[in-house]
Amino acid sequence: MEVPILKQSDYLIATIQAALTDEDLLKLHYALVEQVGKHRSRGVIIDVTALDIMDSFATRTLRSLVHMVKLRGADTVICGIQPEVAFTMVQLGLTLEGISTALDLEEGLALLTTSNNKKRKI
Amino acid sequence: MDGGSTIAITSDSDIIVARELGRRVGRELDFSLTDLTIIATVISELARNIIIFAKHGDMIIETIRHGKKVGIVITAVDKGPGIPDIFLAMQDGYSTGKGLGLGLPGVRRLMDEFEIFSETGKGTRVSVKKWLM
């Protein structure tokens, strides 16, 4: 199942809607890195509310996705990690260090907007 | 043990099938949402090791009864290259850079019981249990 990517002003929003195969996750990876340039986006939100697990592969892929998007000049926020998913990730030893996270889509958008405004002032 | 199901793991989409079966079996036993997430994650990690290191193998999901205790048993079996150094494989690899990064220490932390048998050139069998508390 492919992940739809929506463009909203300066941002791209990718909402994961069901369990993804490794291949789907890699496709999302390439699509986002490409579309950041195409739409000249300043930020990307990956909404993982519907993901019922985050295993080591998903965590590793998301981590590299965030770094690649960063190299393309945009910030990423991962939002919607469910409580039991967070619990399991920590027990498993998986971390998203250095990556912005937010409770939900609304908070994620707010976080991107704040960091963008700060950048513009500089 | 009863109600066992075996799922052949040959591609990454089989990982999702195995995960969903584990969830279903766990839900029938009345495991909590957190435990169901743990069960699904453990299946994902073990099944992915099969794909990466052995190309194909089996995931076996069973329920277990021991007196009044009820639980789930997840077994991953493959005829792959085997793990030459199980001690190293059981070191935490994600944060320290030690270990083999198979995710096995994490899987052991998440479950109540953990068993591993591996022979170089013959394959690996990892069996884990979670009891309903």
Tokens of B122: 């013959």
In chain B, residues with a C-beta closer than 8 Å to the C-beta of A92 are 41, 45, 94, 103, 106-107, 109-110
Token pair of B69, please? Answer: 């205790």
Write out pLDDT tens, residues A28-51.
Answer: 989 999 999 999 999 999 999 999
Q: Which residues of A touch B38 (CB under 8 A)?
A: 88, 91
% pLDDT > 90, chain B: 76
Minimum distance, in Å, between the CA of residue B76 and any CA atom of chain A: 16
* A92·B41 Cβ contact <8 A: yes
**Which amino acid belongs to residue A69?**
V
**CB distance B44–A55 less than 8 Å?**
yes
pLDDT of residue B27: 97
> In whole angstroms, what is the distance from residue B59 CA to residue B127 CA?
10
Which secondary-structure segment (H or E) carries B45?
helix B33-49
User: At a CB cut-off of 8 Å and minimum separation 6, what does B17 contact?
Assistant: B7
Asked if A95 has any chain B CB less than 8 Å from its own CB, the reply is yes
Please report the domains of chain B, with CATH numbers, ordered by start residue. Answer: 2-131 (3.30.565.10)
Crossing angle of the two packed helices A22-38 and A56-71, in degrees rounded to 10: 10
Residue A97: CB atoms within 10 Å: 6
Evaluate whether A62 touches A98 at the Cβ level (below 8 Å).
Answer: no
Q: Is the pLDDT of residue B93 over 70?
A: no
| pLDDT exceeds cutoff 70 at B9 | yes
More confident residue, B63 or B89: B63
Q: Is B37 on the interface with A (CB under 8 A)?
A: yes
pLDDT band of residue A57 (cuts 50, 70, 90) is: confident
Judged by CB atoms closer than 8 Å, whether chains meet at B106 and A91 is answered as yes
Which residue from A99, A85, A115, A12 is spatially nearest to B34, judged by alpha carbons?
A85
Query: Has residue A115 got a pLDDT over 90?
Result: no
Could you give the domains of chain A? 5-121 (3.30.750.24)
Quickly list DSSP for B76-118.
EEE-SS--S-HHHHTS--TTTS-S---SHHHHHHHSSEEEEEE
Of A52, A56, A83, which is closest to B45 when you measure between CB atoms? A56
Sign of CA dihedral A105, A111, A112, A113: positive
- pLDDT reading at B97 higher than 80: no
Q: Is the pLDDT of residue A118 over 80?
A: yes
Report chain B's mean pLDDT, rounded to a whole number: 91
Q: What is the pLDDT of residues B102-113, one digit of tens each?
A: 789 999 999 999
Q: Does A110 touch chain B (CB under 8 A)?
A: no
Beta pairing partners, A100: A77
CA of B43 vs chain A CAs: smallest distance (Å): 10
Check CB contact under 8 Å for B34 and A84.
yes
Q: Are A105 and A45 in contact (CB under 8 A)?
A: yes
Q: From B51, which residue of chain A is nearest by alpha-carbon distance?
A: A22
Question: Is residue B125 over pLDDT 70?
Answer: yes
Rounded Cα gap, residues B101 and A88, in angstroms:
17
Chain A residue with Cα closest to B106 = A92
In the structure, what pLDDT confidence band is assigned to residue A26 with cuts at 50, 70 and 90? Answer: confident
Nearest to A52 by CA among A18, A29, A8: A18
Contact B38 A88 (CB under 8 A): yes
Six token digits for residue A115: 């960091």
Closest CB to B37: pick one of A56, A88, A95.
A88
Mean per-residue pLDDT, A96-111? 94
- Chain A residues whose CB is inside 8 A of the B107 CB are 92
- Residue in the structure block whose two tokens are 């998440």: B110
Give pLDDT tens digits for B58-84: 999 999 999 999 999 999 999 999 998
ipTM of the complex: 0.87
Phi, psi angles (nearest 5°) of residue A89: -60, -45
